[in-house]
Chains A and B, each alone.
Chain A
Amino acid sequence: DVKVTQSSRYLVKRTGEKVFLECVQDMDHENMFWYRQDPGLGLRLIYFSYDVKMKEKGDIPEGYSVSREKKERFSLILESASTNQTSMYLCASSWADTQYFGPGTRLTVL
């Protein structure tokens, strides 16, 4: 089975902190994605990566950056967390057109 793991299920941070969300997949997938999920807004793509060190902005990249130094790991970085970044963050990897999701990290910024 494909496994996508995220470093934390729940995270609480303070405004202004630098936050790292980690995602690891074990299936040698080329593509990886970061989404945020908010009530009434569904899933919105923040960034995706199609190869090591390659990235593209999604629909809402402002306030976020990403890092992909190894194929299996894709990190989402909040340079200076703000309260409007309180959300559920979902990581996914894909083989062909099917995406496989991690369990999500619920981030609260106080």
Chain B
Amino acid sequence: GNSVTQMEGPVTLSEEAFLTINCTYTATGYPSLFWYVQYPGEGLQLLLKATKADDKGSNKGFEATYRKETTSFHLEKGSVQVSDSAVYFCAPYSGGSNYKLTFGKGTLLTVNP
């Protein structure tokens, strides 16, 4: 089955700092790759995704590039805000009719003003 290794948190940054959260995966075939975000007190929501090698997913200033050669999908943002404080989950999906995702353990990001 699939597996995910995410950068361990917590990560604490000052506002406007550069963010990288590392994610590497093992998966069968050519998976789609996802980043989900969980804001305090809420469920997870899709942040961005990429479906094939070299694709770049982007949303809300966050980006991640599908790197097949290194099996990685690192999340980046050039200038974080306090409102970006959340838990971030990386998840590969290898296809199949039931759409089961394998989630990483999550990385807690705290952004201070």
Taking beta carbons and an 8 Å cutoff, which residues of A are in contact with B?
Answer: 4, 31, 33, 40-43, 45, 48, 50, 56, 58, 90, 92, 94, 96-104
Contacts and interface: CB of A to CB of B under 8 A. Distances in A.
A41 B99 CA distance: 21
Nearest to B6: A42
Interface residues of B, number: 21
A45 B41 contact: no
B42 A99 contact: no
Contacts, number: 53
Main secondary structure of the interface of A (DSSP, over half): strand
A94 B43 CA distance: 14
Contact of B43 (A31, A41, A90): A90
Contacts of A31: 98-99
Contact of B99 (A40, A90, A94, A102): A94
B100 interface: yes
Contact of A99 (B32, B101, B105): B101
Interface in B75-113: 89, 93, 97-101, 103-106
Contact of A48 (B42, B93, B100, B104): B100
B32 A97 contact: yes
B49 A98 contact: yes
B43 A96 contact: no
Interface of B: 32, 34, 36, 41-46, 49, 89, 93, 97-101, 103-106
Instruction: Tell me which of A40, A43, A90, A96 has the highest count of chain B C-beta atoms within 10 A of its own C-beta.
Output: A43
A74 to B, nearest CB: 14
B99 A97 contact: yes
Contacts of B46: 98-100
B101 to A, nearest CB: 6
B44 A42 contact: no
A104 to B, nearest CB: 5
A85 B13 CA distance: 34
A94 B44 CA distance: 13
B84 to A, nearest CB: 19
